[in-house]
Structure 1
Amino acid sequence: MKQKFTTGMLFISAILLGAFIWFVERNSEDSRLQEVRTQKIFAAYPAEISWIHMEREGVTIECVRTAGIWRMTIPVDAPVNSAVVEKMIAGMANVERGELITAKTMKERSLTPADYGFEEPRAKITFRNNRGTFTWLIGRDAPLGDDLYVMASGNQNIISAPQTLLNLIPKDPAWIRDRTLFKNTAASVRGIDLRRTGGFIQLRQTEENRWIIQQPFTGSADYLQVHQLIDHAVAATIRDFILDEPTDLTVYGLEDPETELSLIDQNEHPQSLLIGKPLAEKPETRYAKWADSPSVFTVASDWATAFELDSSLLRSRQIVDAQLPRISKVSITSGDGQIDLLRTNNLWKIKRPTLWDAEPKSVQTLLETLTAGTVAEFIDAPTAAQTDKIKNPQWTVEITAGNRTRTLRIHRTDTKDQLIIQRDDESSFCITEKTLFKKQFADPLFFRSRTLLEINPPQIKSIELQKADKSFRVEKEEDRFITQDRTQSPAADTLSELTAQLIKLRTDEFVAFNPESLETYGLETPEAQLTVTLNSTNTLGQVILFGKPAEGGRYAMLRGQPVVFVLPKKTAEILTRELTQPVEEQPTENERP
């Protein structure tokens, strides 16, 4: 009795356990997907389908997926719009099952599959996934409602399904063909070859991402114009597919096409499109084909007309196409003289003819002038005289931006009001306004910093002024000026103004560099000399020499530096004031009141 009880309990436990597993598993994700799938006609996951074959109204279409990309193999080997194919398959996979009509039911009703339209099916769908190959036939519409009949190949059962299923099967391969004209993206294009009745244009992108024209002339290309041309090319789509078999191309104007456009990618692979004549009945379209394919299709005439552009529109009219913030070096050669400007840590320095700080505004003026210059006229067939000017330029300017240096050879034209320029080694020259290169750009003093001295007052050890056979000297002691002459005392106000000027002494005008004679400026024998001695610095001191009066001020120079400049009149007056003043005599005992 006890044994029977135990056996019964085990049996009941097994039933309860099975019920529990069924209850839990039926709500799991896999179970839910399985349930959903069995409610669908095709019971397949779209992602698993790798091949599909469709027949409808005498049209057969076959597509295969490789590495996630769909391609048509029947009736023609051609790319398809993968997104459209994926959407079509997803639509099929989501078609829900309707009424099930079994073979037994048909027998009871004295019906056969032929009565449901399967003797000559309207359509046929076959797909292959990782579980095998499956085929469905589509019969006639149901007499009532919006359904039609579907039957799996090799199965006598019939299922009703929405009539929209038929709409998912293309009657024309063109429905799913890829209408993208160029497979290249705009960013991948590295070259353009354009043959047309208006002449051959050849463009190439350099390693520095510059575009250059190689035909019908050589030179820099306009970056924006080239990219607009590329964007226009890759944005086009095929309008209609005409045929895919080899044919007489003369009929379509493609034997000797009006236009041949080739886009070359980064691997030097060209994709060439031939464009023929407009359609007689549809002049807004033109015949076209790929150079390596027999397929003929149509494109928009307006799109094709854009390639009849004037080649000169693609030329860069910028004299210097470098971006101003990227320019790091400029060299200017004029005769035997050379100026080198170098930017380091965002500060400009003059490296030649001597090492100076550069005046930021002057360098900015040069760069803005050069980068703003434009071509007024191109000379593609220069005369001997023009070539001689370029071989012996008045100025040669080298501008470095990034890893690229652009060279300009510049000479005045015979009329003197314009300049003739050669950019790099371009065979074509160009004409521009004379304001592109101003005379002062060849003068190193134009670029020299206007700041002459920067002396921090606490660093001053002594100041001495010599003028008109007089000498005045003061020394620093415990942060105050003193004089060794007991009859003199430091002129406090004068010294205060003088040291304030030395904090940042600037000139408004440089006059000469390495002048042949200093006598012209009264500096051969200076009228005054101010010596400032420093302590605790690498510079022992500075000596300012004062010459003759000049317009607006006074000629001056720093000893050891062969540069003559003009100090403003007020500044020169402060720097040449007497540094001391007589000590006032103290009254005697008898003189006191």
Structure 2
Amino acid sequence: MRFFKKTIFWVIIMAVIGGLFYLMDRQVEEKKTLEEEKKKVFPFEPQDVNEFQIIRGGENILLRKEGDDWFMESPFRAVGDKNTVQKLLEGVVKAKIDGILFENQPVDKLREMGITDSPTSLTLHLRTSSRILKTIVFGDRNPGMNLGFAILKDDPRIFRLTADIKAEADKTVFDLRDKAVMNFQPLKSKGFEIKWNGGETITVDHPSEGKWHITRPAKGIANPNKITEILYKIKESRIKAFIDEEPKDLSPYGLSNPRLKISIIDEHGKKIELLVGEKEKKQRGLFAKREDAKNVFLLEEDFILPIPKSSAELEETRNAGQK
């Protein structure tokens, strides 16, 4: 009986000690969590942001979210690059303060750190769907170049961040624009047409999965692997440079009578058309535009190399034993 009582006693003692250690560990974790929360620059998550504005010198870039897509509103209306925008928001909104340099903002220190009156200063406004507005101003880097100086407009302090956070925010109009040449899903396309100026017009239908039929200039069966390779090369091509947003005349670009016209019918039956014109020798590219848009842009010079010039290049080859 005495042995049993001793055993119970020690079990209770061990349980109490275990409970104390658990509480201590929990308090330590809660303290760490609280400290990490205090380091956060912004009180929201990247997915909460539906508008942001970059101000750099005299440049003003504004983007807004519409549904799942981003659109540039300033300096002009254009489709935004979703991946670049997401990376920017992830890098900036999840930023953490590396250290507090000053509890207030002396004017001389703001100038010294390149936060005000500096050509390298960068201002970023972030607005959420719940209408929270936060403004961060980035200054210069420290002598070691691994950290940067910054302030929040509604915070009296000057703090330090890792330098790559400003780099994530320091995006240009070109960086933030969608640079896809043609947006479509190759395997879901209902067909396409390739028209060479002075050459053959090739029309291909996609009646069912894995089946591609040549309907022009003559009927035939197309090789699905060749078709898939060509369509994916078109889809994965990217705009090299934006040339003219409001062209008054397409002739100088060779687009009033294009050398090549590619028309793709997407899964919804919508026709997407690309016009390819003359070469641009200085930047080694090809002038191009989409039929439904005004602006002229530049493609890589080798864009047209995989585009077939005759239907024979697409036809299914037969083995010697096949009839």
By the TM > 0.5 criterion, same fold? Answer: yes
Deviation per residue, 1:1-31 (Å, 9 max, x gap): xxxxxxxxxxxxxxxxxxxx99956734xx7
Deviation per residue, 1:526-556 (Å, 9 max, x gap): xxxxxxxxxxxxxxxxxxxxxxxxxxxxxxx
1: CA distance between counterparts of 2:145 and 2:263? 54
The answer (yes or no) to whether the contact 2:115–2:139 under 8 Å persists in 1 is yes
- State the match for 1:259 in structure 2: 260
Number of residue pairs the alignment of both structures matches = 297
Quick one: which amino acid aligns to residue 46 of structure 1?
Answer: P
- State the match for 1:238 in structure 2: 239
Cα 1:26/1:79, change in 2 over 3 Å:
farther
Quick one: which amino acid aligns to residue 120 of structure 1?
Answer: D
1: CA distance between counterparts of 2:261 and 2:315? 21
Cα 1:45/1:235, change in 2 over 3 Å:
closer
Alignment of 1:543-562 (within 5 A): none
Cα 1:226/1:142, change in 2 over 3 Å:
closer
Alignment of 1:431-470 (within 5 A): none
TM superposition shift of 1:187? 1.0
TM superposition shift of 1:205? 1.5
- State the match for 2:150 in structure 1: 150
Matched, 1:212 2:213: yes
Secondary structure of the residue aligned to 1:184 is coil
**Which of the pair has the greater relative contact order for Cα pairs under 8 Å at 6+ separation?**
2
TM superposition shift of 1:278? 1.1
Alignment of 1:179-578 (within 5 A): 179-197=179-197, 198-207=199-208, 210-283=211-284, 285-316=285-316, 372-373=322-323
1: CA distance between counterparts of 2:101 and 2:172? 31
Secondary structure of the residue aligned to 2:182 is coil
Secondary structure of the residue aligned to 2:169 is coil
Secondary structure of the residue aligned to 2:184 is coil
TM superposition shift of 1:58? 2.9
TM superposition shift of 1:125? 0.6
Secondary structure of the residue aligned to 1:183 is coil
- Report the aligned-residue RMSD: 3.3
1: CA distance between counterparts of 2:44 and 2:231? 42
Secondary structure of the residue aligned to 2:263 is strand
- State the match for 2:169 in structure 1: 169
1: CA distance between counterparts of 2:73 and 2:184? 22
The answer (yes or no) to whether the contact 1:37–1:44 under 8 Å persists in 2 is no
- State the match for 2:12 in structure 1: none
What is the percent sequence identity of the aligned residues?
Answer: 20
TM superposition shift of 1:182? 2.3
2: CA distance between counterparts of 1:288 and 1:33? 53
The answer (yes or no) to whether the contact 1:56–1:169 under 8 Å persists in 2 is no
Gaps of 5+ in 1: 1-20, 320-367, 374-593
The answer (yes or no) to whether the contact 1:80–1:176 under 8 Å persists in 2 is yes
- State the match for 1:125 in structure 2: 124
Gaps of 5+ in 2: 1-22
The answer (yes or no) to whether the contact 2:187–2:228 under 8 Å persists in 1 is no
The answer (yes or no) to whether the contact 2:227–2:314 under 8 Å persists in 1 is yes
Max Rg structure = 1
Secondary structure of the residue aligned to 2:190 is strand
2: CA distance between counterparts of 1:244 and 1:33? 49
Secondary structure of the residue aligned to 1:99 is strand
TM superposition shift of 1:204? 0.9
- State the match for 1:27 in structure 2: 29
Secondary structure of the residue aligned to 2:289 is strand
TM-score when normalising by structure 1: 0.45
TM-score when normalising by structure 2: 0.77
1: CA distance between counterparts of 2:132 and 2:85? 20
The answer (yes or no) to whether the contact 1:192–1:203 under 8 Å persists in 2 is yes
Deviation per residue, 1:460-482 (Å, 9 max, x gap): xxxxxxxxxxxxxxxxxxxxxxx
TM superposition shift of 1:275? 0.8
Cα 1:289/1:221, change in 2 over 3 Å:
same
Quick one: which amino acid aligns to residue 218 of structure 1?
Answer: K
The answer (yes or no) to whether the contact 2:200–2:309 under 8 Å persists in 1 is no
TM superposition shift of 1:61? 2.1
- State the match for 1:41 in structure 2: 41
